[in-house]
Structure 1
Amino acid sequence: MDDLCKCSMKFFSDQQLCYADILPPQEVRARIQVAVLNFLKILNSPDPAISDLPLINRTSSNSRVSESILTDVSWLFLSHSFCTRSLIRANAAKAFIRVWKVMEMCFEILIQEKRVTQRELFYKLLCDSPDYFSSQLQVNRTIQDVVALLRCSRYSLGIMASSRGLVAGRILLQEPNQEVVDCSACGSSGYAISGDLKLLESLSLKTDARYIIVVEKHAIFQRLAEDNVFNQIPSILLTAKGYPDIATRFLLHRMSRAFPDLPILALVDWNPAGLAILCTYKFGSIGMGLEAYRYACNVKWLGLRGDDLKLIPDQSLAPLKPRDLQIAKSLISSQILQEHYREELALMMQGGQRAEIEALYFHGYDYLGKYLAKKIVQANYI
C-alpha cells in the first residue's frame, strides 16, 4: 500500500506534496545525527551563527487536497512552504530548544529499542527539562515539529499512538502467535485498539460484513454493540470516542485496504463538530498533514443529516454553541468540504441548531438499528 501511495503521488495535479517517511530506527538516528552535525558545523564556522530550523508549515494556508487518479480517496497534504523555529526571536526561542530536546529523547528511545506514548514522553521531559515543557500540548506540537524537520513519521521516532478506539461486530482479529479474537463476542465493551501501529499492521483480519460503520460517540457504539446491530446489518462497528486518534484511523485505513469493497459509513452528530470528525477520518488533519495520506479513508456520511430532523422532536434540538461556530468557520474556510457538506453546514448555521444522535431515542432505545438500516437502503449502499 505504501508503494501504491507513493506511485499515486506522481499523478496528483499538485506536485508539491510533502510527506513523512516510515523509516527504520537506524535511518532516523542518522537523520538526527546529521541535523546535530550541521548545527555544530555552523557554530564552528569562521562566521558562527545559530541558524533557524526550517519546518514544513502546518497551517491551513499551506494545505491542499489531493486528487488521485488511481484511488477514490482524497486527503489533506502540506506543500513545500516553510516556517522556522529561531533561537534569536524571543517568542520562538523555547520552541527552538524544545525541538532539540525531543530529538535527543527520541534518539535515546531508538537506541534502547523502546516505544513510548506522547504522555510518557511528556512526563519524562517535564522532569528533565521543566523550564521548557509545562504542558502536553507543548510536547505534542514539538513532536510534529520534529516530524516536519526530519520528514519521518511519529512512529518512526519511537512514539506510539495512545488509542481510545474500540471495534465490535463481524470481524476476526489475530495478532501473530495469539488466539483469534471474535469481535462479535466482545460485548458492548468491544475490542480495544492497540496504540502499537506495527502490531496493527501485522493483524490478520477476516470478515463476512458488508459495511464498516464509524460511530462518533462511545455511548452510541455501546448501544449498537449491546443490541447486536452488526447481526441485523452485517457490519463492523468502530469508534474513537470523539475526534479520532491515529491508532483508530490507522486500523480503519488497514480495514479499508483489507476489505476494499466494504462501504465505510459514518454516524455522527448533526453539528459542526460531527462534520469535523467525519472530515478527519476522510481527509486527515492539517496538524498531521505530513502523515495524513497513511490514514485517509473514503468515508461516507450516513447520518445524522439535515433530512433526519423530521425524525427529531423540536425540544431535542439545541442551539449552536460558540465552539460550534468556531469549528464551522474553520470548515468553511478549508478546501476539503464537498458541496453537499457545505450545504449541510449552511443548514446548521441558518437554523442555528444542532442535533445529537441520542435524540433518535424518542422512537425507542431499539430504534438506532432500524434507522441505520433505513439510511443504508436510502443511500443505495445495499
Structure 2
Amino acid sequence: MEDLNRSSMQFFSDQQLCYADILSPLEVRARIEVSVLSFLKILNSPDPAISDIPLINRRSSNSRVSQGLLTDVSWIFLSHSYCTRSLMKANAAKAFVRVWKMMEMCFQILVQEKRVTQRELFYKLLCDSPEYFTSQLQVNRTIQDVVALLRCSRYSLGIMASSRGLVAGRLLLQEPNGEAVDCSQCGSSGYAISGDLNLLEKLTMKTDARYIIVVEKHAIFHRLVEDRVFNQIPSILITAKGYPDIATRFLLHRMSRTFPDLPIFALVDWNPAGLAILCTFKFGSIGMGLEAYRYACNVRWLGVRGDDLQLIPEQSLVPLKPRDLQVAKSLMSSEILQENYREELELMVQSGQRAEIEALYYHGYDYLGKYIATKIVQANYI
C-alpha cells in the first residue's frame, strides 16, 4: 500500500500503458480508495497542498494511430501527454470536484452491485450535486476524466452503455442460460442490441454468413431486412441508426473476433458525416481514446462512393451544408484518414454535393440488394 500511496494522484501514471483496463468491481474500488488515501495523505502532510489531478490528454493533438503487425486493424490511441484538473484555478475547480463526486458515485454503484446508464447517472448527480452537475455533457466528460485517471473502462466503473443498435440476418445468439435467438426471424425491426457489455461479451454466436454489413441508417437497415437481403447475400446486418454507440461498436468488434474470416463492409451516405461514421467503426474515436482499441474493426467502405455518382440522377444530389464542411475539415486534419478516403472527401468538397443512399431508389426499391452484391464483387479495390 505504501508503494501505491507514494505520490498524490500519480498511481498508475508511471506505467507505459495508455489504455483503460477491464477490471473487477473489487479492483476498481481499490483504485478509488488508493486515490482518496493519496489525496488525504497530501492534505495531512507538514506542508499540505492540494495537488492537481493529472489525466491523460484526450485532445486530438495527443492521438496517434496504431497499425497491428499481424492484422489489418488500425486504431486510435492516446500517447503519454497529460492535462490537469486543478482546484486552485477558478475555471477548473468545479471540474476538479466533479471527478471526486463521480468516483464517489461509481464507488456506491459498485458496492451495490448495480449497473447504470449515463442518463441515470446524470439525474442522480443532478439531484445530489446540482451545483456541480447541470448537464449531461458535464457527466459524460467527467466519466471520461475518471476513466483517464483510474485507467479502467467505463463499464468497469458500473456504467452501462446506452444502445440504439440493431442486428439482423444469419446470426444465432445465445445468452448464458438463455434461449437462442435467430436474428433472421426477428422481423424487419431486427434484434435490439443490449447496452450490457458484459452480456455482449458472454454471448455465444454462430453464423453461416459470408459477410457482415454495417448500415448507417435505420430506414435503409429496415428496407434490407424487410427484403431479406441476407438470404440473397449470406450476411449479418447491423446498424447503430447513425453515429455509432458504444454497445453497437462493441458487438461488431466481438463479431470480428468471433468470425475473423468474415469481411466487414459499410454502407454509408456519400458525405463527410457518412465517412466520419465509417472511420469511427474502423478506428475508434478520440473521445474514447483509452478504450478505442476495444471497438475498432477492419471495416471496408462498400458505398456509396464517388464512382457510384453515375448511378444517381443529378437532381438527387444535395448541396453540402456548413456542418458538412466542418466535419470534412476535421477529417482532413486527422492522420487516421487513409489516402483513398482523403481523395473521396476532397471530391465531395470540390463538387459541393452529397449523395444519400436513398438516391439509389431511382432504380427501384429492390435495387439495394443488387447494388450491394455488385459492390462486394468489386470489393478487392477497397
TM-score by length of 1: 0.95
Corresponding residue for residue 357 of structure 2: 357
2:335 pairs with 1:335: yes
Asked if the contact 1:212–1:263 (Cα under 8 Å) also holds between the matched residues in 2, the reply is yes
One-letter code aligned to 1:129: S
Shift of 1:315: 1.0
The 5-angstrom pairing of residues 305-320 of structure 1 reads 305-320=305-320
Distance 1:72 1:362 in 2: 36
> Secondary structure of 1:75's match?
strand
- Measured against aligned partners, the alpha-carbon deviations of 1:280-335 in whole angstroms (never above 9, x if no partner) come to 00000000010011110000000000001111111111111111111111111111
One-letter code aligned to 2:351: G
The 5-angstrom pairing of residues 58-207 of structure 1 reads 58-207=58-207
Distance 1:79 1:23 in 2: 21
Q: Percent identity?
A: 86
Asked if the contact 1:305–1:344 (Cα under 8 Å) also holds between the matched residues in 2, the reply is yes
Distance 2:41 2:322 in 1: 50
Corresponding residue for residue 12 of structure 1: none
Distance 1:276 1:173 in 2: 29
Corresponding residue for residue 209 of structure 1: 209
One-letter code aligned to 2:119: R
Corresponding residue for residue 219 of structure 1: 219
> Secondary structure of 2:74's match?
coil
Distance 1:295 1:378 in 2: 27
One-letter code aligned to 2:55: L
Distance 1:70 1:380 in 2: 20
- Measured against aligned partners, the alpha-carbon deviations of 1:185-240 in whole angstroms (never above 9, x if no partner) come to 11110000000111001111000000000000000000000000000000000000
Shift of 1:380: 4.0
One-letter code aligned to 1:61: S
Unaligned runs of 5+ in 2: 1-14
Corresponding residue for residue 296 of structure 1: 296
Corresponding residue for residue 377 of structure 1: 377
Shift of 1:51: 0.7
Corresponding residue for residue 35 of structure 1: 35
Distance 1:325 1:89 in 2: 36
Distance 2:108 2:38 in 1: 20
Corresponding residue for residue 8 of structure 1: none
Shift of 1:16: 6.2
Distance 2:321 2:213 in 1: 27
Shift of 1:48: 1.2
> Secondary structure of 1:300's match?
strand
Asked if the contact 1:250–1:294 (Cα under 8 Å) also holds between the matched residues in 2, the reply is yes
How many residue pairs were aligned? 367
Distance 1:31 1:258 in 2: 32
Over 3 Å counting, the alpha-carbon distance change for 1:336 and 1:17 in structure 2 is: farther
Shift of 1:17: 5.6
Shift of 1:378: 1.5
Corresponding residue for residue 240 of structure 1: 240
Distance 1:71 1:380 in 2: 17
One-letter code aligned to 2:283: F
Corresponding residue for residue 270 of structure 2: 270
> Secondary structure of 1:155's match?
coil
Give the 4+ runs in structure 1 shifted more than 6 A: none
Asked if the contact 1:218–1:241 (Cα under 8 Å) also holds between the matched residues in 2, the reply is yes
Corresponding residue for residue 9 of structure 1: none
Unaligned runs of 5+ in 1: 1-14
Cα RMSD of the aligned pairs, angstroms, is 1.1
TM-score by length of 2: 0.95
- Measured against aligned partners, the alpha-carbon deviations of 1:132-168 in whole angstroms (never above 9, x if no partner) come to 1111111001000000000000000000100000000
Shift of 1:377: 1.0
> Secondary structure of 2:181's match?
strand
Distance 2:45 2:229 in 1: 68
Asked if the contact 1:17–1:77 (Cα under 8 Å) also holds between the matched residues in 2, the reply is no
> Secondary structure of 1:181's match?
strand
- Measured against aligned partners, the alpha-carbon deviations of 1:101-128 in whole angstroms (never above 9, x if no partner) come to 1000000000001100001000000000
Asked if the contact 1:22–1:152 (Cα under 8 Å) also holds between the matched residues in 2, the reply is yes
Distance 1:186 1:27 in 2: 39
One-letter code aligned to 1:250: F
One-letter code aligned to 2:154: R
Corresponding residue for residue 7 of structure 2: none
